[in-house]
């Protein structure tokens, strides 16, 4: 029995796969791919605050950086027209820490919304 080892016959440029290579390919195919795991889902808490005194983009940047520095905060978005600040974090930030951060940025925290 003769084997055709041409490129057209096996797609490997004339070289045939040995039994060892085939076994390694099968083992690799059976293992899950590294680095392709879905991200672990963590819950995100969203807190909304009413902040008075913001009037421009510099104000937005000040509040965003002050609240973004709190531990566990992932994202801060500001709706300047409505004077609302949304904080997304791993756990609800302590109210006194939020109030202190907003005060240090030069603004007034009036209320938190659920």
**What is the tens place of the pLDDT at every residue in 16-28?**
556 666 666 666 5
Q: What are the C-alpha distances in Å from 112 to residues 42, 50, 84, 89, 93? A: 23, 6, 9, 15, 11
Give residues with Cβ within 8 angstroms of 101, minimum separation 6. Answer: 66, 67, 69, 70
pTM of the model: 0.61
pLDDT at 43: 83
pLDDT at 111: 75
Q: What's the rounded mean pLDDT across residues 72-81?
A: 95
Q: What are the C-alpha distances in Å from 106 to residues 35, 54, 77, 78? A: 44, 9, 17, 15
pLDDT at 60: 95
pLDDT at 112 exceeding the cut of 90? no
Mean of the per-residue pLDDT values of the chain: 80
pLDDT at 37 exceeding the cut of 70? no
């Amino acid at each position: 029995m003769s084997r055709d080892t041409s490129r057209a016959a096996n797609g490997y440029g004339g070289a045939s796969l040995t039994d060892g290579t085939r076994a390694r390919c099968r083992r690799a195919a059976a293992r899950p791919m590294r680095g392709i795991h879905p991200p672990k889902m963590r819950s995100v808490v969203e807190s909304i605050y009413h902040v008075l005194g913001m009037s421009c983009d510099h104000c937005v940047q000040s509040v965003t950086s002050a609240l973004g520095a709190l531990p566990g905060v992932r994202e801060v978005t500001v709706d300047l027209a409505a004077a609302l600040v949304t904080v997304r974090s791993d756990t609800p930030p302590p109210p006194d820490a939020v109030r202190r951060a907003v005060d240090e940025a030069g603004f007034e925290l009036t209320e938190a919304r659920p």
